[in-house]
Amino acid sequence: MNDRGVVIVSAVRSPIGSFRGSLASLKASELGSIVVKESLTRAGLNGADVSEVIMGQVCVSSILIRKIVNSLKKIKKCYKSVVTGYCSIKSGESDVIVAGGQESMSRAPHAVCLREGIKFGNCNLVDTLMEDGLMDAFYDIHMAITAENIAEKYAISREAQDAYASKSQQKAEAAIVAGHFDKEIVPKNGTVTAGNASGVNDGAAAVVLMSQEAAERKGIPSLANIVAVAQVGVEPQFMGLGPIGAIKLVLKKANWTKEEVDFYELNEAFAAQAIACVQELGLDPEKVNVNGGAIALGHPVGSSGTRILVTLLHTLERTGKRKGVASLCIGGGMGIAVAVERK
């Protein structure tokens, strides 16, 4: 891999719809197409300029092969699409890539396998939302159980988790009232407020990645440079701890100290998970999820990784700060992080 610079020239997301809420009528692909088109428009590009579009999605109804590929699928969702695009441009294979994620948890169907027929008796419908999106592929446990494991490991009380969740709601409400999300969201009727956000959501997000030379050649200003990316593995039962190793590694690759980072976006899969990561890393809580996180805003699993990156980029731009890190845990036992810097 060579030393080509990789920049982000556009970053947008949809509103986040509550489960069976304002975005439920749209397919995940329709949500994705909205943010892809808008991201190109804002960058002043058209489809002919793009080498590849990489969009991640978790709930794709592959229930019969979950045990084999579900962990890979979750790894390859929205945030991995950004890393894949970064590597493609860095290697010289591409110049312009749109990367992101899309999810409609509201439209995840119930399914039954009838390929071999039913001779007699009952057959069960499987909830693909649960099977594809919320179950661990290795231990066959719900993601909430992984959070309980972390709470027990770090002695995080119910009261501490509730206090964290309440603070996330308050920060998100303040950010919404202040208009902090206005620039990053593609306008659409119906949005989620701090009071009505659900943990099961619909939404999409996208960023446009370019080689620095291509952006300069076309006269397209960048939002930030991608300085480093990192991925680590953890025990699946404690998948929520993935950001700990990922953030440590991405800081090492970027040659940054944790103190010089202006803002951290840490996906809030669960309060216990977020608290443990902040504590273990020794981060300043005032720098973490300054606009609230997924507990307040919602967590459409296929797009949340790109969503936190979009929010981080706009937060850096709005405040005039330079350095940021976005990170999230991944079902199956991984963590991933990206370090970005505004010039």
pLDDT tens-digit series, residues 36-86: 999 999 999 999 999 999 999 988 764 434 443 443 444 445 578 999 999
More confident residue, 186 or 65: 186
Q: Determine the pLDDT at residue 113.
A: 82
More confident residue, 198 or 273: 273
pLDDT higher than 60, residue 122: yes
Q: Determine the pLDDT at residue 196.
A: 27
Q: Which of 59, 277, 299, 314 is an active site residue?
A: 299
**Percentage of residues of the chain with pLDDT beyond 70:** 91
**CA 16, 18, 21, 24 torsion: positive or negative?**
positive
pLDDT higher than 70, residue 197: no
Find the mean pLDDT for residues 213-224: 97
Find the mean pLDDT for residues 313-339: 96
Active-site residue 180, yes or no?
Answer: no
pLDDT tens-digit series, residues 13-31: 999 998 988 899 999 999 9
Q: Which of 78, 180, 277, 314 is an active site residue?
A: 78
Model pTM above 0.95: no
Sequence-distant (6+) residues with CB within 8 A of 226 are: 6, 7, 8, 86, 209, 338, 339, 340
Q: Determine the pLDDT at residue 193.
A: 28
What is the C-alpha separation between 338 and 174, in angstroms, rounded?
Answer: 26
**Quick one: which of 65, 43, 8 has its CA closest to 312?**
8
Q: Determine the pLDDT at residue 77.
A: 55
What is the C-alpha separation between 58 and 62, in angstroms, rounded?
Answer: 10
Find the mean pLDDT for residues 267-271: 92
Find the mean pLDDT for residues 108-130: 87
Cα three-residue angle 63-52-338, rounded to 5 degrees: 75
Domains and CATH numbers, the chain: 6-111+130-342 (3.40.47.10)
Q: Determine the pLDDT at residue 61.
A: 61
Sequence-distant (6+) residues with CB within 8 A of 250 are: 228, 229, 230, 325, 327, 337, 338, 339
Sequence-distant (6+) residues with CB within 8 A of 56 are: 76, 77, 78, 79, 80, 81, 100, 101, 102, 302, 303, 305, 306
Task: For tokens 């709470």, name the residue.
Answer: 151
More confident residue, 192 or 133: 133
How much is the mean pLDDT over the chain? 89
Q: Determine the pLDDT at residue 266.
A: 97
Find the mean pLDDT for residues 285-313: 95
pLDDT class for 90, splitting at 50, 70, 90? very high
DSSP state of 238: G
Amino acid at 266: L
> Do residues 295 and 195 lie in contact, with contact meaning Cβ atoms separated by under 8 Å?
no
**Quick one: which of 188, 227, 223, 224 has its CA closest to 204?**
188
Give the 3-state secondary structure of residue 26.
Answer: coil
Q: Which of 59, 180, 277, 329 is an active site residue?
A: 329
Active-site residue 113, yes or no?
Answer: no
What is the C-alpha separation between 330 and 242, in angstroms, rounded?
Answer: 7
Active-site residue 110, yes or no?
Answer: no
**Quick one: which of 42, 52, 50, 54 has its CA closest to 83?**
54
